[in-house]
A and B are shown apart, each in its own frame.
Chain A
Amino acid sequence: MTTALQYTLSGLAIGGIYALVALGFHVMWSAAKAVNFAHGDTLMIGAVLAVMGVDAGLPLPLACLLAILAGALFGVALERFAVRPFIGANASIGWMLTTIAVGIMAESLATMQFGGFSRPLPSPGVAGAVSILGAGVYPQELVIPAVAVLAMVGLHLMQRRTLVGRAMQAVAHNRQAAALMGIDVDRIVMLSFGLAALFGAGAGVLVAPVIQASANMGVLLGLKGFAVAIIGGITSGPGVVVAGLAFGVMEKFVEGYVSTSAREIVGFSAMILILLAFPQGLFGRREIFKV
């Protein structure tokens, strides 16, 4: 029982990271029908800049805040220079290559500036493990899934209640019609990439105390986050968060009761099976492209 609880808590912590990354993919896809494949590197930028900020003598909260803002700026700049010029024609896929390329460049640059080692980000949340019915977990790990759920709720409210949120919905629904209604489509798309990057960099800062910041930390998390977004249904915010948390917990149970090396095999097999049964993802809506 304690063991099962341990796996669930550890799984929720990792699932929370997947969920935050997947939420970013959801925001971008909703507005632009394109995503930033360097999104994992946005997470890395948040974590690495926070550590560099602390190195430079900034207080921890300020370093984290600046790192998250810098991550958001990265998202905005990337949309402007690596996505927008390549998204003009229908079904154009140039942005896939350009965003992947930017991600690789960001990683190389980070390796040069930050070095090859993993570095810790200090946080009161990892000072000591707390015991919950015999299962050990860092407070920081409990915060991650909570933030993911909060971000999801906040995003939902924003999409329903605010002008910007509604404009995002409109752009997602039909670019041309939205533009005819006087919505500045480019600005909305830019905003959603910025918002997604904010989530990504925030996830990086949250997770760095637990898994340490390093130049290549974003690759696998970005990929898993994307997989989770697809499983959950990239058009549904709550869907990707639920899928993220569930995927994290499932991974831990596979590691615990089958074996560590079986984790990726079982995880990605489950992904393929789910996509066969639910081509739009578990909670996704069918999207109709009009050509």
Chain B
Amino acid sequence: MDAHKYLRRLFLAAPLAFTIPGAALAQQEPCIGNSAAITGPAAFGGQAIKMGAEIAIEEINAKGGVLGKPLRFVQYDDAGAPPRGVDNTRRIALADKCVVILGGYHSTVSVAQVEPVHAIGIPFVGVLAANTQAIENGRSPNYMFRVSAKDKWVARFLVEQASKVSKTGKIAFFYENTGWGNGAVPDVKAAIAKAGKELVATETFNWNDQDMTPQAIRARDAGADVALFWALDREGNQLVRSMDKVGYKPTVIGAWGIAGNLGELAGPLANGVEVVQTYSFMGELDPRGQALWQKIQAKYGLKDPSQIKMGSGIANAYDAIHIVAQAIEKAGAYDWKKVREALYQVKYDGLVAKYDPAFDAADPERQDAILPSYYKLTVWSDGKLLPIAQTPYGKTN
């Protein structure tokens, strides 16, 4: 057979590799996989997940692992690109034969993973990306779980905060023109309508935009005294600077895209900007948080908690791994289907929340483990993102 013909047959045969149903493959192994951005602008997200997951796995293995075998963690880079996330999903499930796959930082990737996750039938536990539809995807049985914030609940939480501080009842909403930003629009609109407040400006922008004075002027002239941000640090910085230029000083409350280095970028302009998170290593920690921070310090050579970008990602991944390990024990096997069912039975007193139970099979909204009552409001204060109760900003609320 000549080389040309051989190559062509190889190409034709390649798709067959993916059509073999998951059940026909060999036994799964005590391994947890993760596809996240470990390069590119959101590399800190993948790093946070790795830290939380590795430390949790070390703790579990120190106590003998799960079902008598040590757990393993594998992480692949998707750089925020959905096709690579889909590839990694297949690789983690079919080549590494992991029991569970953890989600990454980018919502667009998580949404793309819904399809392969269900085609294969491997449980997925998101630990950062907050897009509502990625988990509430209408599938039954649903293999997508999450131990992280959910935009729908974040929107309600932020609007509640906005309602408390707004004197005029007029709110402006700034969101990035991406899957994450656009996905939050209906959530925010619904939450504001429900709260009986008025959304007077809905403004969007693109990544890398250098100036947002037109948007700031429109929100200012519409009379909004609170601005909700669905932005990342870089664009959040341009927003507060543009607001400063046009003499507009609303209270800013944001989803956690501006929890990275906004304080460094915007300097004093970031002071008072509030951010919702699921966990923060800043300020005073409880003994459990303190113990985890010491392990992070020792293992990854960090000196100060302010070096942690996206502490929520570490804590979410840490809790998620412990929940998954318990589910495997309850299932009594490294089996995708059994572990999925066992996830609904796990009760765990975690770092971020008291999971009682972690997930609820009867309620499609409860594929999410962290309830909004556990969300934490933090505030930028002289370059540091602190729990709001430990700052002067907490007292005015």
B217 to A256, Cβ gap below 8 A? yes
- Which residues in window 147-163 of B have CB below 8 A to A? none
B206 to A6, Cβ gap below 8 A? no
A131 to B213, CA, bound (A): 14
Interface-forming stretch among B4-12, B41-49, B111-119, B285-293? Answer: B41-49
A119 to B213, Cβ gap below 8 A? no
Binary per-residue interface labels of chain A (96-117) against chain B in the complex, 1 for a CB within 8 Å, 0 otherwise:
0000000000001001100111
B210 / chain A contacts, CB cutoff of 8 Å: 14, 17, 207, 210-211
A211 to B238, Cβ gap below 8 A? yes
Would A116 and B40 be within 8 Å (CB), given that A211-B210, A256-B214, A260-B203 are in contact? yes
B264 to A120, Cβ gap below 8 A? yes
* B367 within 8 A of partner (CB): no
- Which residues in window 127-156 of B have CB below 8 A to A? none
* B82 within 8 A of partner (CB): no
- Which residues in window 86-141 of A have CB below 8 A to B? 108, 111-112, 115-120, 126, 129, 131, 135-138
B247 to A255, Cβ gap below 8 A? no
A211 / chain B contacts, CB cutoff of 8 Å: 210, 238
* A212 within 8 A of partner (CB): yes
B237 to A118, Cβ gap below 8 A? yes
* B265 within 8 A of partner (CB): yes
A215 to B43, CA, bound (A): 12
* A199 within 8 A of partner (CB): no
Query: Given B40, B217, B244, B247, which contacts A111 in the complex, CB threshold below 8 Å?
Result: B40
A210 to B265, CA, bound (A): 10
- Which residues in window 211-240 of B have CB below 8 A to A? 211, 213-215, 217, 233-234, 237-238
Binary per-residue interface labels of chain B (95-118) against chain A in the complex, 1 for a CB within 8 Å, 0 otherwise:
000000000000000000000000
Query: Given B206, B208, B213, which contacts A10 in the complex, CB threshold below 8 Å?
Result: B213
* B61 within 8 A of partner (CB): no
By beta carbon, the residue of chain B nearest A257 is B214
A210 to B43, CA, bound (A): 24
A216 / chain B contacts, CB cutoff of 8 Å: 41, 208
A162 / chain B contacts, CB cutoff of 8 Å: none
* B251 within 8 A of partner (CB): no
A262 to B261, CA, bound (A): 29
B177 / chain A contacts, CB cutoff of 8 Å: 260-261
* B393 within 8 A of partner (CB): no
Would A119 and B264 be within 8 Å (CB), given that A7-B214, A10-B211 are in contact? yes
A7 to B42, CA, bound (A): 31
B261 / chain A contacts, CB cutoff of 8 Å: 117-119
* A3 within 8 A of partner (CB): yes
Number of A-B contacts (CB under 8 A): 94
By beta carbon, the residue of chain A nearest B217 is A3
B244 to A129, Cβ gap below 8 A? yes
A264 to B245, CA, bound (A): 24
A6 / chain B contacts, CB cutoff of 8 Å: 213, 217, 245-246
By beta carbon, the residue of chain B nearest A219 is B208
A274 to B194, CA, bound (A): 48
* B205 within 8 A of partner (CB): yes
A214 to B234, Cβ gap below 8 A? yes
By beta carbon, the residue of chain A nearest B242 is A10
* B30 within 8 A of partner (CB): no
A129 to B214, Cβ gap below 8 A? no
B204 to A116, Cβ gap below 8 A? no
Query: Given B39, B42, B44, B267, which contacts A120 in the complex, CB threshold below 8 Å?
Result: B267
Query: Given B41, B209, B245, which contacts A214 in the complex, CB threshold below 8 Å?
Result: B41
* B260 within 8 A of partner (CB): yes
A120 to B234, CA, bound (A): 10
A214 to B261, CA, bound (A): 13
B246 / chain A contacts, CB cutoff of 8 Å: 6, 135-136
B211 to A116, Cβ gap below 8 A? no
* A217 within 8 A of partner (CB): yes
A217 to B208, Cβ gap below 8 A? yes
B211 to A260, Cβ gap below 8 A? no
A118 to B211, Cβ gap below 8 A? no
A136 to B211, Cβ gap below 8 A? no
B203 / chain A contacts, CB cutoff of 8 Å: 260
Least distance between B83 CB and chain A CB atoms (Å): 18
Least distance between B247 CB and chain A CB atoms (Å): 6
* A13 within 8 A of partner (CB): yes
A117 to B41, CA, bound (A): 6
Query: Given A14, A111, A264, which contacts B211 in the complex, CB threshold below 8 Å?
Result: A14
By beta carbon, the residue of chain A nearest B46 is A116
By beta carbon, the residue of chain B nearest A118 is B234
B237 to A137, Cβ gap below 8 A? no
Least distance between B238 CB and chain A CB atoms (Å): 7
10 A–B contacts from the bound complex (CB under 8 Å)? A6-B217, A7-B214, A111-B39, A118-B237, A119-B264, A131-B247, A136-B244, A207-B210, A252-B211, A260-B215
A residues with CB within 8 A of B? 3, 6-7, 10, 13-14, 17, 108, 111-112, 115-120, 126, 129, 131, 135-138, 207, 210-212, 214-217, 219-220, 252, 255-256, 260-261, 264
| Closest CB pairs A-B (n = 7) | A136-B245, A256-B214, A116-B41, A118-B234, A255-B214, A211-B210, A116-B43
